[in-house]
Amino acid sequence: MYITSSMAQTAVDWMVNQVGSASSASTWNGRCLAMVRAAYEQTGVYQSGYGTGPIAAQKLAAGGYLHTDDNPPAGTLVMFGVCSNSKYDPYGYGHAAMSIGGGKIVHAYAGVIRIDDISKFVSHGYPYLGWGVWHAEYGNTMENVQASATGDAAQLADFVERLYTVALNRPSDAIGKAAWIASLQNGTKTGADTVWGVVLSDEFKDRNLSDNDFVEVLYKTLFDRSSDSIGKENWLNQLNNGASRETIFNGFVGSDEFAELVRSFGL
């Protein structure tokens, strides 16, 4: 989904309305990035691809979208570090917040939903890393991210069809395929959202795949190739150590290899 200024304001309003709420503080204690994500979900956006704060900060920086001025636009994701030498260093990530404009943020911190000046929060020992638009791969301002998918209808149809074929092991049905293509064309779904909807659907889960087969399907669906032994072993070890399949899926989606795949379909 493409983030616009009006949608960002809706997210800001939701965050601000949580200030002072004991139940909200309990829900979001220790989950600063999750709260920002939840705020955007109030606008109908499912935010996939970043998963954790360090991943978010690193991806913003890698794409050149981590801005370091100290007056981020309202509704943008604001990142802070954990020690004095981490200023402007995304690998020193420690905290996430949402800008409400005017150099202020709203965030979940120390068991409280609160509004702070960026400068005040920095004085508490959290160096400012910068800010970015969540789906920064579509642009680096709030307005220029409102655009439909660039791929033509044939590319989008091929993208959706291969999801059915590889992930669900069947041809697409006309109604479902048309709905996915339309959502890609009008910008209500990204490539990652579409893959999430298919790969984590009830139909897919009903295949009752083993962990080994699940990981292999992710390689073929999200990377368009068979697994390599080292990579597959790593994913299986994570599953064996308690990671959920959703976590493994997010790891695949957050990779450069998946980003290259969706770009090849004009997404």
Alpha helices, H only, the chain: 5-17, 22-28, 32-41, 53-62, 118-123, 153-163, 174-185, 191-199, 202-205, 211-218, 229-240, 245-253, 256-264
Q: How confident is the model at residue 136 (pLDDT cuts 50, 70, 90)?
A: very low
Candidate CATH numbers 3.90.930, 3.90.1720, 1.20.120, 1.10.3470; the one for domain 5-138: 3.90.1720
Residue 65 has pLDDT above 80, yes or no: no
Residue range 153-264, CATH number: 1.10.3130.20
Evaluate if residue 119 carries a pLDDT over 80: yes
Placement of tokens 């005017």 in the chain: 102
Tell me which of 245 and 141 has the higher pLDDT: 245
Dist. CA 12–CA 7, nearest whole Å: 9
User: What are the two backbone dihedrals, phi and then psi, of residue 6, each rounded to the nearest 5 degrees?
Assistant: -65, -40
pTM here is: 0.48
List the domain boundaries for the chain: 5-138, 153-264
Q: Tens digit of pLDDT for each residue in 164-187?
A: 999 999 998 888 888 888 778 766
